[in-house]
Amino acid sequence: MLEIHGLNVYYGDVHVLWDVSLNVSAGEIVTIIGPNGAGKSTLLKAVVNLLKPATGEKEKGKISFMGQDLTPLSPEDTIRLGIAIVPEGARVFPDMTVLDNLKIGSYAGPARARRKQTLKEVFGLFPRLKERLNQKAKTLSGGERQMLAIGRALMSRPALLLLDEPSLGLQPLLVVKTFAAVSEINRRGVSVLMVEQSVQFSLEISNRAYVLENGRIAAEGKARDLLQNDHIKKFYLAL
């Protein structure tokens, strides 16, 4: 479904991602773990063209989705193809209602036509949002804002959902609920590429994972195998 090959990304003169290659197959949950500053969020932004990859002949990589090259597209066109991103920090429109936030997620033609059905699906996943439907987003708790951010992304009816630190800042019980929601989203047919600091939780629900360190892929494999990896245990699980 998603293929990234030899990706290099710069911030100005700083080389952030070095020859990164990974893939996500249909139906998978794939997690990217790694320390702060490793380039994880940069990678997700590059997939949806919020950041452009290097174009030099020696550094030119490729990102393709369902066989189509994404690199020349705008973020809007990338979303129309079936990719949605939930940025770090549960970013919502604070002065808009929950309903209006959700509606914005379905602005593209095909998603707009199925808005009512998708709203029902989102409310089935996050009943709390239906209860808060006419409240402004700034009145929601942190966990509710994260629900809203994920729900808004689902309104575009993506085939692939990108999640950037979905458990960030949440209380332990809400972390558990968030990962349960991610699993349910996947069961409903949406593939997931997730960046996450809660290594134990994320690997437990993932099919495969990549370890990104200093802008390079340091390890990859089945999630259950990485949970037993000595390096992962020592540096990410404190075991």
- What domains, with CATH codes, occur in the chain? 1-80+195-239 (3.40.50.300)
Q: How far apart (Å, rounded) are the C-alpha atoms in residues 213 and 40?
A: 9
33 C-beta neighbours (distance < 10 Å), count: 27
Q: What is the pLDDT of residue 12?
A: 87
Rounded percentage of the chain residues whose pLDDT exceeds 90: 73
Q: How far apart (Å, rounded) are the C-alpha atoms in residues 88 and 100?
A: 20
Mean pLDDT of the chain: 92
Q: What is the pLDDT of residue 152?
A: 96
Closest CA to 185 of 221, 212, 156: 156
pLDDT, tens only, 151-181? 999 999 999 999 999 998 888 889 999 999 9
Residues 6+ positions from 43 with CB-CB distance below 8 Å: 4, 7, 9, 17, 20, 32, 195, 212
Q: What is the pLDDT of residue 54?
A: 87
Q: Are 100 and 93 in contact (CB under 8 A)?
A: yes
> Which pTM was predicted?
0.93
Q: What is the pLDDT of residue 41?
A: 94
pLDDT, tens only, 173-226? 899 999 999 999 999 999 999 999 889 999 999 999 999 999 999 999 999 999
Q: What is the pLDDT of residue 57?
A: 66
Rounded percentage of the chain residues whose pLDDT exceeds 70: 98
Residues 6+ positions from 110 with CB-CB distance below 8 Å: 157
Whether residue 113 has pLDDT greater than 60: yes
Whether residue 235 has pLDDT greater than 90: no
Whether residue 125 has pLDDT greater than 80: yes
Whether residue 133 has pLDDT greater than 70: yes
